[in-house]
Structure 1
Amino acid sequence: MSSSSDEEVLVLYLYLRQRRRRKRRSMWLHPYIEKNINCRMFVAAKELQQTDRKFMDCYRMSKNTYLELVEIMTPQLQKQNTNMRECVSPQERLLITLMYLGGTSTTYVALGLYFARGESTIANIVAETTKKIWETLMNTYMAVPDTNKWKQIAERYYTLWNMPNCLGSLDGKHFKIKKYPNTGSANFNYKNYNSVILMACADADGLFTMIEVGYAGRNSDAGIFRVSDMKRLIESDALNIPAPARLPLDENNYSFPFYFVGDEAFPLEKYLMRPFPGRTATNTSRVFNYRLSRARKSVECTFGMLTEKFMLFESPIRCRTPEVVNNIIKSACVLHNFVRSKEGMSYQATNISGGTSQRPNGIIPHDLILGPNPSSLALRKYLNNYFLAPQTALPWQWAYCI
């Protein structure tokens, strides 16, 4: 017998041996599911007949917004019926996924009992639907802003938070997870739990403009930003950022670059303003830090709204597949933008009472000169001086930061 024939016999033997070892299913449907199979559509239809308040409690959006989402997602989620069984409808797929994200039922077992579906079916539906939601909505509800959109964002930052030429606030957020298999301590963070990190940029109205997710929890915000696509796109001028422009009410005629804001974990760059170090802060630098924090908190508020709406994130995500976890987080972020654009309340500019318009002694704005190619330190110093001028200082800033 030739060697090729021996190899073919060996391959056939191994195949038949492996086939015998496969565990045969003892049943096609679990008895509970088979008993309640006629209740599936009843459950889904019954939920839609509830009041708007109850529907929103379960699915974290109004019925009208949900129906609009169904219309958008149906072509992406529609499956074909087979001779063996009927497919799960797009409406039910979305209900299962929204209830999972909303935290009403954060385990596949609980959702399986509620919708009379198998646990593996629920897991596959959540994985497929979250991926499709992100791929379908991202180009509309989290598209990269063009130049005019960036200018609109900067105008809103100035109107709401008195921060001129600001394009967004950057920060990272830890999402609790169950430890991934064979990852050691890679995801164990300084807060003593396993997590993945979302690096995000938010506008003045609490909407995400850019996100990156999937970084191991042990990394710092500065380390993540250093290797992020976000930083690479900013530095390569691929984000359509407007050309430098004069600051509002500035008596000088200097063009100041548009920039993002971040906390002390981020580096100081021409396109990224961070606070002065607290340990060496002076009264003038405290004014800058206060004005910066008013703008920077928008991303913190966005994270808070995301977690409050999708309460799945208040506990560890019970999934051990990194790709699925990343899609869950990304879909929640783009759904946050979708829902907030449909039914969210717009921020309104407010004045803080109780402050004084009297500038403390010793705080005097200086006549600073910006060269043709100023450094990041010179830009921050100029912006700090800008906040001290009588026409740009906030009446209450002296009482709140000095």
Structure 2
Amino acid sequence: MKKLPALLLAGVAVLAVGAAALVWRLNLRDETAIAAGPPPAASAEQVARGAYLARAGNCMTCHTTRGGTPYAGGLGIDTPFGTVYSSNLTPDEATGLGRWTPDHFWRAMHNGRAADGRLLYPAFPYPNYTQVTRADSDALYAYLRSLPATARPNTPHALRWPFSTQPALAVWRALYFSPGVYETDTAQSAEWNRGAYLVRGLGHCAACHTARNVLGATDDRLDLAGGLIPMQNWYAPSLTSDTEAGLAGWDTPHIVSLLKTGVSPRGSTIGPMAEVVLRSTQYLSDGDLGAMAAFLKSLPPTPAEPAPRSAPPPARVATRGAKLYEQHCVQCHGDTGQGVPGAYPALAGNRAITLDPPANLVQIVLNGGFAPATAGNPRPYGMPPYALVLSDADLAAVLTHVRNAWGNRAPEVTELQVNRYRTTSRQ
């Protein structure tokens, strides 16, 4: 009788493996027609359009190593399941896209498959790119084909088993991915639809601003409602909540300015979003940025949850935090947290200060940070790092102070939280 549980477990394991194999085989069925022969000649206008779209998708950031040839791949992207390495997008025959056709490229964008039919990992955001139109896919392909060919073999992924297997990826896709293209909402304006297309598709904003489950998938029901960016310990705030980063109450020119220059009268970008502005959105047209603003302003607001009642910080923490603020922060941010317009952000009434979790605050004080150096703001003011100046207890105390001074109300930042972010931070 003691063998029965073991036999049951073995049977369940066999069924699980069989189900995974079945799903894998079903996923291997690919009915996309792939045209043979050399690709058609691209016009200069199509190549220029593709270059613009590559900026909109921020493609070069992931497909270029530091100091490496643009788009030659090899950048390691850390995930909770191991490291995925970006591929070579130059037109090299042996190691890049030289043998790919426009149909191959469309299949990768739309259905997450390589030229040989292999399933791609969603670190390449095809769950978002699937909404890209065929015309835009062809323009991107034309641009990438125009680049100088660089012979750089693709680096094998370093993923843990079973995440390293195609059957496991097939199961993930069966659960969380359905190919599709952007469908115009006829009840909305052309501008709104353009913004929605950019935000949901090439912009892949949901890849950061939507929470992920234990298998790394986003939930459409929580689209753009905020989430912790895996492996980076930055919180991408909700774009639907007025208490986080909702834009419904912003003027359109302020949103455009934020995406174009990294700063606006209502706030500034820092951390991963500063990189997005630096490498992507600053190059978009004012018309496209205005369209994105129109869409973001229209997002249905997330119902505000009652703020949790947080006890006042312990007196010793409050006293210590106030003293540290006076020593290190008051010169820039002011004795009442008022900041300096155009230079140092106000801390009083700043919703970025009271975000929960406090990951971004800890990151900024530990490692410093600047708004991006853009054409519209070439010399941004920044925050120096304090990782070697403040202990975990010091940093927790000063952040607790600013989160509970000048009308701010937020839970205490603990020493344990600071230590966790410090020891797991990846820049």
Alignment TM class, shorter chain as reference = under 0.3
Greater Rg over alpha carbons, structure: 1
Hey, which of these two has a bigger chunk of helix by percent? 1
TM-score by length of 1: 0.28
Q: Which has the higher contact order (CA 8 A, sep 6+)?
A: 1
